[in-house]
Amino acid sequence: MAETTTAQKSVKFIIERQDAPDKPSYTEEFEIPYRPNMNVIGALMEIQRNPKKSDGSSTAPVCWESNCLEEVCGACSMVINGKPRQACSALIDQLQQPIRLQPMRTFPVVRDLVINRERMFNALKKVKAWIPIDGTYDLGPGPRMAETKRQWAYELSKCMTCGVCLESCPNVNDRNSFIGPAAISQVRLFNAHPTGEMNQEERLDALMTDGGIEGCGNSQNCVRSCPKGIPLTTSIAAINKDTTKHMFKKWLGI
């Protein structure tokens, strides 16, 4: 058809907003022009450029966090149409409209879609998710890692601490001190490392304190939600085995 003007396609958004951590939340609707291959971040940038609600009235631009734009940093995690995921890899063409954006409320909301994921960093510190190699002299090269082990350990190293597994977990909430799936999988990663293995008991001990691994209730939402496909429930079960063995060894004094 020889039409020179076509109806402008648009994308509808319903965004849950909050002005400050202690302020009540409210929703606002937006309608922005469609562009091919658009993602949710692109749509949020459009709202930032022209912060008008769908009824035409002005509002403050929506706040969000993003960084890498290729689903490796985890900064733009939010709840999109009910599921926690990264906004950068959420393509408009694949989403049902109106698109609902909410902050991941498992974490304290800073403003709009911006959340504070500090508890995940604290969890990594609690389980000592690193390999201590510093010494007063050259410790020399560490033991080598078997290639077969490296292959599955690499999958665990893809964790970007995005918080999606904690958001999907029914046992991560304000009545429960559960550390969450991500840190447990990191314990498995660092305990698998030939040098990290030398401190494995410290990490297991950390998971056997309040809010540790026993908080897992096996709902297995984490493994279904993880954007990097990390076998979180396998990690949890493997560390269940290690902590159980560690517990009996400590009781028996061996």
> 3-class SS at 146?
coil
> 3-class SS at 46?
helix
Using CB under 8 A as the binding rule, whether residue 49 contacts another protein is answered as: no
Write down the least CB distance from residue 176 to another protein, Å.
Answer: 4
Q: One symbol per residue from 115 to 154: x for binding another protein (CB under 8 A), - otherwise; what is it?
A: ----------------------------------------
Using CB under 8 A as the binding rule, whether residue 83 contacts another protein is answered as: yes
Cβ burial of 96 (10 Å; 0-12, 13-18, 19+) is exposed
Using CB under 8 A as the binding rule, whether residue 67 contacts another protein is answered as: no
Q: The tokens of 233 are what? A: 């429930």
Q: How far apart are CA 192 and CA 132, in angstroms?
A: 14
What's the sign of the alpha-carbon dihedral 79, 84, 89, 94?
negative
Using CB under 8 A as the binding rule, whether residue 215 contacts another protein is answered as: yes
Q: Which is nearer to another protein, 25 or 177 (CB)?
A: 177
Using CB under 8 A as the binding rule, whether residue 219 contacts another protein is answered as: yes
Give the full edge-to-edge strand order of the sheet including 99-102. Answer: 25-33, 10-18, 99-102, 77-80, 83-86
State the pairing for strand pair 99-102/83-86.
unpaired
> For residue 17, which phi and psi values (nearest 5 degrees)?
-120, 160
Q: Which stretch binds another protein (CB under 8 A): 46-54, 129-137, 143-151, 232-240?
A: 232-240
Using CB under 8 A as the binding rule, whether residue 189 contacts another protein is answered as: no
Among 213, 226, 227, 230, binds another protein (CB under 8 A): 213
Q: Which is nearer to another protein, 38 or 208 (CB)?
A: 208
Q: Which stretch binds another protein (CB under 8 A): 30-38, 85-93, 112-120, 227-235?
A: 227-235
Write down the least CB distance from residue 81 to another protein, Å.
Answer: 10
Selection from 25, 21, 69, 26 nearest residue 44 by Cα: 69
Using CB under 8 A as the binding rule, whether residue 240 contacts another protein is answered as: yes
Residue 142 identity (one-letter amino acid): G
Residues in touch with another protein (CB under 8 A):
82-83, 168, 170-171, 173, 175-177, 205, 208-221, 224-225, 231, 233-234, 236-245, 247
